[in-house]
């Protein structure tokens, strides 16, 4: 029995795929997520090292920058959320070995439930969900906001590709809230036609 590797459960497990051709599409994502918080007085070397490694600067303020699969977003004073598509639990470990001297690096890959929201009516759906302005002129590609949706704290960002129309957003919430957020999105999108695509994972036979 000891040999059985642990099997993860998706945050939106139990939610059935829904819809076919929705004007709002929600796709479950499972990026590796880590939080970096600069140690006191270490911002400058951290910034330099980060730039050296990824060729992008740490965003100052609520912006998100991207380098291939990896993205970094400012979510607090000298604090960033880093995500990496397709990375597993090892993501935070690799960051810690690189930046641990200059920042606290915490693995939060399992802490969030994340959905990508897209489709021609996605902005109208978001208008019912979050009290912030996601208009082209005010929420540009790469913008990120910490806000609330149906009384839940959420982080919302717009993917970086410029000129993307309709825009693509991602929203994440504390994992325990996954089902409540799902219902809020489903209800907000229902009038436009809603589609949900859960994470596909090959089941490992025990």
Partner 1 sequence: MSPNRLEGAGAIQRGRRLSFTFDGRGYVGHPGDTLASALLAAGVRLMGRSFKYHRPRGVLSAGSEEPNALVELREGAHREPNTRATMIELFEGLCARSQNRWPSLACDAGAVNSLLAPLFAAGFYYKTFMWPAAFWEMLYEPAIRRAAGLGRASLEADPDTYEGAHAFCDLLVIGGGAAGLAAALTAGRAGARVILCDEDFLPGGRLNGDRLEIEGEGGSAWAARVSGELRSLAQVRLMTRTTVFGLYDGNTFGALERVSDHLPRPEGHQPRQRLWKIVARRAVLATGALERPIVFGGNDLPGVMLASAVRTYLNRFRVAPGRHVALFTTCDDGWKTAFDLRREGLDVPVIIDARRTAPPALAAEARRQGTEVMLGAQVLRARGRRSVERLEVREEGGRTRKFPADTIALAGGWSPNVALSTHLGGRPRWSEALSAYVPGDLPRGMTAVGAAAGEFSLSAALSMGVDAGRDAAREAGFEAHREHWHCEDEQVGAAPLWFVAGCRGKAFVDYQHDVTLDDIGLAAREGFRSPEHLKRYTTLGMGTDQGKTSQLNGHALLAALTQRELSDLGTIAARPPYTPLAIGALAGRARGREYRPFRHTPSHGWACERGAVFVDAGEWRRARWYPVAGETDWRVTVAREVAAVRTGVGVCDVSTLGKVDVQGADAGAFLERIYANRISTLTVGRARYGLMLREDGMVLDDGTVARLSPCHYLLSTSTAHAARVMQHLMHARQVLWPELDVQLTPVSEQWAQYSIAGPGSRALLSMLFGEALDLSNAAFPFLACAECSWRGIGVRVFRISFSGELAYELAVPARYGDFTMRALIAADAPGGVVPYGTEALGVMRIEKGHVAAAEINGTTTARDLGLERLVSTGKDFIGSVLAARPGLTAADRPVLVGLKPREPGSRLAAGAHLLPTGAPATLSNDQGFVSSAAFSPTLGHWIGLGFLSRGRDRMGETIRAYDPLRGEDATVEVVSAVFYDPTGERVRS
Q: For residues 115 and 183, is the Cβ–Cβ distance under 8 A?
A: no
Give every CB contact of residue 65 below 8 A, 6+ residues apart in sequence. Answer: 56, 57, 58, 59, 71, 72, 73, 142, 160
* Stretch near partner 1 under the rule CB under 8 A, chosen from 5-13, 17-25, 65-73, 114-122: 5-13
Place of tokens 């919302």: 156
Nearer to partner 1, 71 or 125 (CB): 125
Segment lying near partner 1 (by CB under 8 A), choices 31-39, 43-51, 59-67, 163-171: 31-39
Q: Does 13 bind partner 1 (CB under 8 A)?
A: yes
The residue length of the chain stands at 206
Instruction: Tell me the closest approach of the beta carbon of residue 149 to partner 1, in angstroms.
Output: 9
Query: Taking the complex as a whole, how short is the minimal distance between the CB of residue 187 and partner 1, in angstroms?
Result: 6
Please report whether residue 9 would count as binding partner 1 according to CB under 8 A: yes
> Shortest approach of partner 1 to residue 4 CB, angstroms?
7
| 41 lies in the site for partner 1, by CB under 8 A | yes
Cα 180 to Cα 21, 111, 148, distances in angstroms = 23, 15, 13
Total residues binding partner 1 (CB under 8 A): 55
- Cα three-residue angle 81-31-65, rounded to 5 degrees: 45
Handedness of CA 173, 174, 179, 183 (dihedral sign): negative
Tell me whether residue 7 or residue 69 sits nearer to partner 1 (CB atom): 7
Under the binding rule (CB under 8 A), the answer on residue 137 touching partner 1 is: yes
CA atoms of 77 and 203, how far apart (whole Å) = 40
Using CB under 8 A as the binding rule, whether residue 181 contacts partner 1 is answered as: yes
Stretch that binds partner 1, among 54-62, 65-73, 125-133, 163-171 (CB under 8 A): 125-133
Q: Does position 180 bind partner 1 by CB under 8 A?
A: yes
Cβ within 8 Å of residue 11, ≥6 positions away: 28, 30, 112, 113, 114, 175, 178
Please report where in the chains the tokens 């604090």 appear, as a residue.
Answer: 79
Q: Does residue 92 contact residue 107 with C-beta atoms inside 8 Å?
A: yes
Task: Give the footprint of partner 1 on this chain (CB under 8 A).
Answer: 1-2, 4-11, 13-14, 35, 37-41, 77, 89, 103-104, 106-112, 127-128, 130-133, 135, 137-138, 150-152, 174-181, 183-184, 187-188, 190-191
């Amino acid at each position: 029995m000891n040999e059985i590797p642990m099997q993860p459960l998706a945050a939106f497990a139990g939610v059935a795929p829904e819809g076919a051709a929705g004007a709002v599409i929600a796709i479950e994502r499972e990026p590796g997520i880590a939080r970096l918080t600069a140690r006191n007085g270490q911002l400058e070397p951290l910034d330099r090292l980060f730039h050296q490694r990824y060729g992008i600067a740490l965003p100052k303020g609520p912006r998100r920058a991207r380098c291939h699969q990896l993205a970094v977003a400012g979510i607090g004073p000298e604090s960033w959320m880093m995500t990496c598509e397709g990375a597993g639990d090892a993501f935070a470990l690799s960051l810690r070995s690189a930046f641990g001297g200059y920042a606290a690096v915490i693995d939060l890959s399992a802490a969030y439930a994340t959905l990508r929201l897209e489709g021609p009516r996605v902005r109208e759906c978001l208008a019912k969900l979050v009290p912030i302005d996601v208009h082209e002129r005010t929420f540009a590609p790469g913008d990120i906001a910490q806000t609330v949706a149906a009384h839940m704290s959420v982080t919302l960002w717009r993917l970086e590709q410029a000129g993307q129309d309709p825009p693509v957003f991602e929203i994440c919430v504390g994992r325990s809230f996954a089902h409540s957020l799902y219902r809020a999105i489903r209800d907000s999108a229902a009038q436009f036609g809603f589609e949900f695509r859960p994470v596909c994972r090959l089941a490992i036979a025990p």
